[in-house]
Amino acid sequence: MNTLFPRSAMSAAVACLGLGAHAQSQPDSPAVLPQVTVTGNPLGATDLAVPAERYGGTGLLLRSQSTLGETLNHTPGVSSTGFGPNASRPVIRGLDGDRIRILNNGGASVDASGLSFDHAVPLDPIAVDSIEVLRGPGALLYGGSAVGGVVNVIDNRIPRAPVQGLTGRLDASYATGAREKAGAAMVEGGNERFALHVDAFGRDARDVRVPVTLPCTRGDETRLARRVCNSAAESHGGALGGSVFLDRGGYLGASVASFRKDYGTVAEDEVTIDMKSDRYALEGLWRAAGGPVDSIKAQFGHTDYRHTEFDAGEAGTLFRNRGNDWRIELRHRPLGPLEGVAGLQGEHTRFAADGEEAFAPYSRTRQQALFVYEELATGWGKLTFGGRTESVRVESLGNPEVDRFATGGRRFRANSYALGALWQLAPAWQLSGNLAHTERAPRDYELFANGPHVATGAYELGDATLDKERSDNLDLGLQWKQGPSSARLGAFVTRFRNYISLESTGAEVETEEGEFLPGFAYRQVPARFQGLEADGTARLLERGHTLDLEWRGDLVRATHRGTGEPLPRIPPARAGATLVGARGPWSARVGFDAAARQDRVPEGERETGGYTLWHAALTYRTKAGLADALWYARLDNATDKLAYSATSILTQTAPGRSPLAGRSLRLGVQANF
């Protein structure tokens, strides 16, 4: 393994702790995550005026996949870009790319995944503690690019609370569909003053199995198999972090993390990507003893990301993205019923692409922002307000090897704000509403792209005159909770004045190699996104054992307001349900996720058929010495249904090439000690 962490790093770090602590065992019952969504509310409130979810523990384990997009797929309002098993990002309410903000512990994930569908997010769900999803622009504290929502991947690589003694977690699993082997290990140790964290993970998968025979060409030989050609992947990484704890619950910590992934792009039979990402982070919290300031939290991160695309083993285009991000939050003490935070945030990234498939120039992006979030408690609930103003400078630096890239720069001032309310209608009923205005500065490739893009099979042209993207959003929600049963219903509408869309020019463009590709250009169009989301849990039985029914569904409609035509790659109406039974150490679940036919597509694009995917899982919890072990078996796509994703660009550019994964049985164990 060519990583920052040799195989012996974990054992060496534990041995060097020198803290004289004894091992701590975990309770027999599964850990329950506290219902505090950090991303959606910096004050740590349990009730939010915006729709938010938190996944962790057994719930995350039983839905975990190899990518962030597939892990969150089929949750209310969230789907996936569906670019094979290796490079799928989340799609929230029909919005993808840079309208979805992906964070790691609240800091920016600096990579190239927003640039192209075949670029993976350098995060593996097997190595995280929890994932938070915030739908809608209520996440404006994290930037205008969060108009669709925020996905915050949370780990404890910088310990934020003292660790008593020695604790850890081991994960191991095998999945038959891609003959995938995955494993992770984490160890933490400390006392009241210091804590150290070490983790490592690895995943190795072959081509994924599908319920249809597909061709695969390597060199001059073509073979047929029930596998998606070039969908294999190998990844590994790890992290080392530590903290020193201050008075009154403060801390100061640092971490270094490494991620490596070598994977097939599935769009072409012999194109692979070798990805490397290293991140260095600092984080601290200071709590005041008195005065108007309650606490100050600061974060800083530096990321060095690069990946090389290989064609039949020959190195091609090299992508690099290096950046710094920082954030400071000041929380004031309550002023009567009013409490809140104010802060500063900044990012500075430098992007470069060298090679035949570089369709965007070297670029530099600088962004500084000021934000505020306040809550006012009332007799009937609470009011919330958030505001953000940011200055963004985007520069094209050209490319010394490519004449077609022009140099230049644009500066934008983006202002966003949101007003929310939460009404406690009755002890079991809550009504929430959120009204927001969001502004997003165009990205570098939207302004300056000029070249052939292999992942989309098109020649893409940016527009240096694009204005900032403006949208207005209304979000309404009704929630009910009575004991273990609950239900939520939400509705939203987002109206874009000038949505930045990649649209066909109707002409073909000749490349430097003499090949003709369809021309696509970034344009601004009026658009509207609207939809419904619902989910809930009903306790059916409780007699020494429990039986629950979990249900979910969503619907998104996205329309070009100028022409009335549907926008591309929008998820269809979806519904799902799962029966969950538990008795003693045993738990079982069986359910389905169904998607309707998607026939609301732009003229000239292919429709996708509906499908129903059945799934099941069985878990058994036991104690093994000092460890609390959870053994599990999970069956995905139990009926081996052939299905295609409406949100995948491959459905249009390479129809039939990459269906959804077929039947797969995953066997695994997670042990906590």
Q: What pLDDT, in 10s, does the model give residues 127-168?
A: 999 999 988 655 778 877 788 889 999 999 999 999 989 999
How far is residue 577's CA from residue 258's CA, in Å, rounded to a whole number?
Answer: 38
Model confidence at 520: pLDDT above 60: yes
Contact at 8 Å (CB) between 96 and 119?
A: no
CA 501 to chain CA centroid, nearest Å: 22
Alpha carbons 490 and 612: distance in angstroms, whole number: 24
> Residue 121: what pLDDT?
94
pLDDT tens across 218-267, in order? 988 999 999 999 999 999 999 999 999 999 999 999 999 999 999 999 98
How remote is the C-alpha of 531 from its chain's centroid? 21
Predicted local confidence at residue 38, as pLDDT: 57
Is 595 strand, coil or helix?
strand
How would DSSP label each residue in 87-154? SPPEEETTB-GGGEEEEETTEE--SSTTT-TTPPPS--GGG-SEEEEEESGGGGGG-GGGSSEEEEEE
Asked if 34 and 534 touch (Cβ cutoff 8 Å), the reply is no
The C-alpha torsion from 529 through 574 and 263 to 198, rounded to 10°, is: 90
* Residue 322 burial (CB count, 10 A): 15
> Cβ distance 384 to 419 under 8 Å?
yes
* Dihedral sign of CA atoms 566, 475, 593, 127 in order: positive
Unique residue bearing structure tokens 């920082």: 326
Give me the pLDDT at residue 138, please.
Answer: 58
3 — pLDDT class (breaks 50, 70, 90): very low
SS (H, E, C) 198-233: EEEEEEEECCCEEEEEEEEEECCEEEEEEECCCCCE
Inter-residue contact 18 to 93 (CB < 8 Å): no
pLDDT at 5 (0 to 100):
42
Exposure string of 605-644, with b = 16+ CB inside 10 Å and e = fewer, is eeebeebebbbbbebebeeeeebbbbbbebbbbeebeebb
- In degrees and rounded to multiples of 5, residue 68 shows phi and psi of -65, -40
The stretch 350-373 carries a mean pLDDT of 93
User: Which residue type, as a one-letter code, is found at position 565?
Assistant: E
The pLDDT assigned to 46 comes to: 63
pLDDT beyond 50 at 1: no
Is residue 542 predicted with pLDDT exceeding 50? yes
Q: 516 CB contacts (<8 Å, ≥6 apart)?
A: 508, 509, 510
Closest Cα partner for 317 from 285, 282, 357?
357
- pLDDT confidence of residue 661: 96
* pLDDT tens digits, 25-42: 333 333 333 444 556 567
| Domains assigned to the chain | 9-19+34-672 (2.40.170.20)
* Greatest CA separation for the chain: 75
- pLDDT at res. 33: 38
Arithmetic mean of pLDDT over the chain: 90
**497 by DSSP, 3-state: which?**
strand
SS3 of 75-93: the string is ECCEEECCCCCCCCCEEEC
Q: Regarding predicted confidence, which is higher, 544 or 77? A: 77
- Grouping H, G, I as helix, E, B as strand and the rest as coil, residue 571 is coil
Distance CA 131, CA 155 (A): 9
The whole-angstrom separation of Cα 309 and Cα 357 is 9
Instruction: Please tell me the number of Cα atoms within 13 Å of 554 on its side-chain side.
Output: 24
The mean pLDDT of 594-608, rounded to a whole number, is 94
Rounded to whole angstroms, the Cα distance separating 410 from 353 reads 20
C-alpha separations of 580 from 129, 488, 546, 590 in Å: 23, 19, 8, 7
Would you state the pLDDT for residue 517? Answer: 87
Integer Cα distance of 190 and 193 in angstroms = 7
Position 299 pLDDT exceeds 90: yes
Q: Is the pLDDT of residue 355 over 60?
A: yes
In whole angstroms, give the CA distance from residue 654 to residue 368. Answer: 40
The β-bridge relationship of strands 516-542 and 458-461 is parallel
Please say if the pLDDT value at position 533 is more than 50. yes
- Residue carrying the six token digits 């660009």: 649
Given pLDDT bands bounded at 50, 70 and 90, which one contains residue 651? confident
For residue 246, the tally of other CB atoms under 10 A from its CB is 14
Q: 228: closest CA among 246, 250, 244, 213?
A: 213
Residue (of 251, 241, 319, 234) closest to 279 by Cα position: 241
Q: What is the pLDDT of residue 604?
A: 83
Question: How far, in Å, CA of 342 to CA of 17, rounded?
Answer: 37
**What is the rounded (10 degree) CA torsion for 128, 130, 131, 133?**
-170
**pLDDT higher for 190 or 504?**
190
Q: Residue range 306-321: average pLDDT?
A: 93
Q: How confident is the model at residue 45 (pLDDT cuts 50, 70, 90)?
A: low
22 — pLDDT class (breaks 50, 70, 90): very low
DSSP-assigned beta bridge partners for residue 508? 518
At which residue do the structure tokens 């989910």 appear? 535
Backbone angles phi, psi at 186, to 5 degrees: -140, 135
What phi, psi does 413 have (nearest 5°)? Answer: -115, 110
Distances in Å between the alpha carbon of 454 and those of 116, 353, 384? 9, 14, 45
Q: Cα dihedral angle (250, 256, 257, 260), rounded to 10 degrees?
A: 170
Contacts of 168 (CB under 8 A, 6+ apart): 185, 186, 187, 188, 672, 673
User: What distance in Å separates the CA atoms of residue 661 and residue 264, rounded to the nearest whole number?
Assistant: 15
Give the span between the Cα atoms of 61 and 171, in whole angstroms. 10
